[in-house]
Amino acid sequence: MNKDSHTFVFVHAQNLQDLHSNKYDKHVRQAVMNNYLRKAMQDPSTTDRRITRQRRTDVRQRRKGATANYESPPDDHQSVGVENDVKLNTLTPKSDESLAFVPANESPILDHSPAHEAHTTTHSGSGTPASNDGASQRRCSSVFFKEVSDPGVEIERYFESFNHIKEQVIPTAIDVEWLRGNCVRYFRTQGMMQQWIPLQLLSPLAYLSRLCITAPYTDIMTSQGFEDPAYPNSDPRLTLEIFDIVPRLINESMNDMAERCSDSCFVAVIQLFYGQLFSPYAGLVASHREGLVQMIQQRGGIDCLGGDGILAMNVCLVNMEADVILNQPTDASHLQWSRSYITKHEAVGEPCPEGPLHCVSPWMLSIASNSLCPLETFRAISLARQLSELVSGMYMSTASNSGPDSAYREIERERKQQDVSDLVLQIRQLPPAHTSSQSEPRVWIYESIRRAALLFAQAVSMRKPLHLACSDSLHRATVSAEDIYIAVKESPIVDVWGSMAGVLYWVLLIAAAAACNTQPERLDHRNEVDHEMTDVSHDQPRDAGTNPVHRVQHQTVSAQAPRHTFDDLECDRRRLSITALDTFQDSSLRWL
């Protein structure tokens, strides 16, 4: 009974059996919680953080003014200012304001609760927000992060409706509202707005699964000591909790004939796959990969996926990025489909950032015109680009090394091997920079590229994976992933190196593959998953079209113990990799 309103709260059941169902228990808990929150709102002495957070936001916004924006802090953590029209109209992008910054006394993890957004709106008559002079030099390059409107009213309304109608019980340990604030920042880029967000709105499952991408980032930020005043007791558990819920929801969708292998299920699995790559638990990648293969087969092939090729392209991208990070050979079918798609869509959108993996012209004009790229840096990038093209060409020609002209191809292969040796020698002869704490940013950029190129050249010459090449003690020129990490951390990563974002992406891919944990239990995890899948397939009945992979991987995730302490190198490397993957995927989506 509510003593304030003197009314009872009734929860109805159709029959006696409903009183013992989980659904009935959920309704009872919701009614009790709603009643508690209503009373807490009227209690000035309450300590509930959901109520006090809203009150702090109200007081802070009244002090700063309803139309004030966040000021620019001296730190490197970015956030996105929310600019919703009071009349709930679609927002107009502003080309000169791409990202705002959280003040120093605020957390890098934003509070995007409805009460907060109500006080961060701008009047429809105000043309531009307050300017942030200090943020202009630290803002990401507008070439890649053009200002776009927030996902806006449509997504906010969708979230509210989803939050009320969802059938699944979200554990109280997961503050979905908190993670949603991070999602607004992560998915605000132009490519995500145009290509990916419409797919997230296909179903509540596709919408909720985006937390799999931001939860690992949130774990890493909290483990690095960036505490949120509104969440003083937060700890790195969100990844395991989200990865326990989303696979279960995917399994339930697989059991639904109407939703089985739908586009929304593909979106959920892809985002779960990406989140797994960002987390320290990469052993489940094999199960996600096998699950995507089975889903594609049931849909009739990769060309039958929806989204005008966007879903299929992301399936290929996430698999190829996993291959690079885990030091595994890339599936030829993914490469072939990606090349075919790019050929058909090469004139659509803006070009992706140039670098060793891609260049619009042989001269790489966008990189050469960058003030952070002097002649020596450009030479290192060019050598890495030439070596990448040469090795890729040799790999592609190996499969067709047969037929009447095989002798000529053998001669050509020997010539290319000599070219590879020459390029490796030139990369090894790149002079190291004299670095110190007072070194200019372009010095650290050059050193990052030189170290990554040196490690890449060493792996090519030794014909070993990157994580084995960096551990070779016979070569004095060998560098480690930690060496690359140190150089990248000292560089201006906030701006993602401007027009050299593609180079940064390549550097971080090299470092990520070199830092890949190769412990025996992780390497053997694929066999363990396959064995578990075999046991489950024999012991448990299953519908003909049900995908068993996600059911098994859900059980495996639930059995893992929380990992409260991360290695510093592993944490920062993954944090930087998330930034680079977000940058490259946004730019490549606009290009595709």
> In this structure, what is the dihedral angle of CA atoms 334, 396, 356, 461, given to the nearest 10 degrees?
130
Question: Is 460 part of any domain?
Answer: yes
The two three-digit tokens of residue 217, written as one number: 């980032």
Same domain, 510 and 527: no
Output phi, psi for 85, to 5 deg.
-70, 140
User: Whole-angstrom Cα distance, residue 108 to residue 224?
Assistant: 12
Neighbours of 436 (CB within 10 A): 8
Q: What pLDDT score was predicted for residue 430?
A: 92
At 524, the pLDDT band (50, 70, 90 cuts) reads: very low
| pLDDT tops 60 at residue 11 | yes
Please provide residue 57's backbone torsions phi and psi, each rounded to the nearest 5 degrees.
Answer: -65, -40
Closest CA relative to residue 30, chosen from 156, 168, 160:
168
Q: Are 116 and 84 in contact (CB under 8 A)?
A: no
Residues 510 and 537 in one domain: no
User: Residue 176: its pLDDT value, please?
Assistant: 59
- Cβ–Cβ under 8 Å, residues 123 and 65: no
Query: For the chain, what percent of residues have pLDDT higher than 70?
Result: 51
Are residues 462 and 528 both part of a single domain? no
Does 551 lie in the same domain as 492? Answer: no
Q: What is the mean pLDDT of residues 352-374?
A: 82
386, 415 Cβ separation under 8 angstroms: no
Q: Distances from the Cα of 112 to the Cαs of 15, 158, 455, in angstroms?
A: 40, 15, 42
Stretch 54-70: mean pLDDT: 39
- Three-state DSSP at 2 gives strand
Residue at 178 is within a domain: no
For 122, phi then psi, to 5°, come to -110, 145
Number of domains in the chain: 2
Kindly report whether the global pTM for this prediction surpasses the value 0.75: no
Closest Cα partner for 472 from 457, 489, 488?
A: 457
Beta bridge partners of 228: 231
What's the pLDDT band for 22 if we cut at 50, 70, 90? confident
Alpha-carbon Rg of the chain, whole angstroms? 26
pLDDT of 571 higher than 80: no
pLDDT of 382-391, one tens digit each?
Answer: 999 999 888 8
The pLDDT of residue 195 is 80
Q: What pLDDT does 449 receive?
A: 94
Q: 463 with 494, same domain?
A: yes
Mean pLDDT across 242-267: 85
| Cβ density class 531-565: b for 16+ within 10 Å, e for less | ebbeeeeeeeeeeeeebbbbbbbbebbeeeeeeee
Do 293 and 375 have their domain in common? no
Domain identity same for 369 and 405: yes
Q: Which whole-number Å values give the CA distances from 450 to 288, 380, 430, in the listed order?
A: 35, 6, 7
Instruction: Name the most confidently modeled range: 246-250, 310-314, 323-327.
Output: 310-314
**How far is 304 from 54, CA to CA, in rounded Å?**
46
Residue 273 lies in a domain: yes
pLDDT computed for residue 446 by the predictor:
94
Q: Given pLDDT bands bounded at 50, 70 and 90, which one contains residue 445?
A: very high
* Per-residue pLDDT reduced to its tens digit, 117-126: 333 333 333 3
- Dist CA 65 CA 515 (whole Å): 47
Q: Which residue has the higher pLDDT, 427 or 223?
A: 427
Per the prediction, the chain carries an average pLDDT of 65
How far is 200 from 210, CA to CA, in rounded Å?
8
- Highest averaged pLDDT of the listed ranges 253-262, 548-557, 579-588: 253-262
pLDDT digits (tens, 9 = 90+) for 315-336: 998 998 888 877 788 888 888 8
Single out the residue in 452, 487, 514 at which a domain terminates: 514
Q: What is the pLDDT of residues 537-567, one digit of tens each?
A: 333 333 434 343 333 333 333 223 233 333 4
Strand partners, 355: 358
- Tokens of residue 271, six digits: 């985002």
Do both 315 and 420 map to the same domain? no
Q: Rounded mean pLDDT of 392-410?
A: 67
Q: Under a CB-based contact definition with an 8 Å cutoff, are residues 79 and 185 in contact?
A: yes
In this structure, the answer to whether residues 311 and 213 fall within a common structural domain is yes
pLDDT in tens, 87-115: 223 223 333 332 222 333 333 333 333 33
pLDDT at position 412: 79
Structural domain contains residue 255: yes
First-to-last C-alpha distance (Å) of the chain: 58
* Distance (Å, whole) CA 239 – CA 486: 26
pLDDT of residue 50: 65
In the chain, the amino acid numbered 87 is K
Q: Which residue has the tokens 């004139």?
A: 347
| C-alpha distance from residue 308 to each of 11, 294, 344, 588 (Å) | 46, 21, 12, 15
Taking only the tens place, the pLDDT of each residue in 181-201 is: 666 666 666 667 778 888 888
Residue 473 binned pLDDT confidence (cut-offs 50, 70, 90): low
Closest CA to 173 of 244, 228, 227, 221: 244
Which of 491, 514, 537 is the endpoint of a domain?
514
Closest CA to 307 of 408, 206, 454, 157: 206
State the angle between helix axes of 501-514 and 441-462 in degrees (0 to 180), rounded to the nearest 10. 50
Are 434 and 446 in contact, with CB atoms under 8 Å apart? no
Tell me whether residue 243 is in a domain.
Answer: yes
Residue 337 lies in a domain: no
Whether 278 contacts 210, CB under 8 Å: no
- Let me know whether 214 and 264 are in one domain: yes
Q: Examine residue 386 and state whether it is found in any structural domain, yes or no.
A: yes
Which residue would you say has higher pLDDT here, 313 or 365?
Answer: 313
Determine the pLDDT at residue 588.
40
Q: pLDDT value at position 283?
A: 74
Nearest to 377 by CA among 208, 503, 252, 498: 503
Return the closest-CA partner of residue 189 out of 582, 591, 592.
582
Based on the fold, state whether residues 383 and 496 are members of the same structural domain.
yes
7, β-bridge pairs: 2
Residue 259 counted as domain residue: yes
Can you give the residue range of the structural domain that contains 281? Answer: 202-326+521-556
Please tell me which of 97-111, 144-158, 287-301, 509-523 the model is most confident about, judged by mean pLDDT.
287-301
| Cα–Cα distance for residue pair 186/154, rounded to 1 Å | 17
**Euclidean distance between CA atoms 98 and 96, whole angstroms:** 6
Please tell me whether residues 420 and 494 are part of one structural domain: yes
For residues 335 and 509, give the distance between their C-alpha atoms in angstroms, rounded to a whole number.
17
Residue 408 has pLDDT above 80, yes or no: no
**pLDDT-derived band of residue 456, with 50, 70 and 90 as boundaries?**
very high
Q: What pLDDT is stored for residue 400 in this prediction?
A: 58
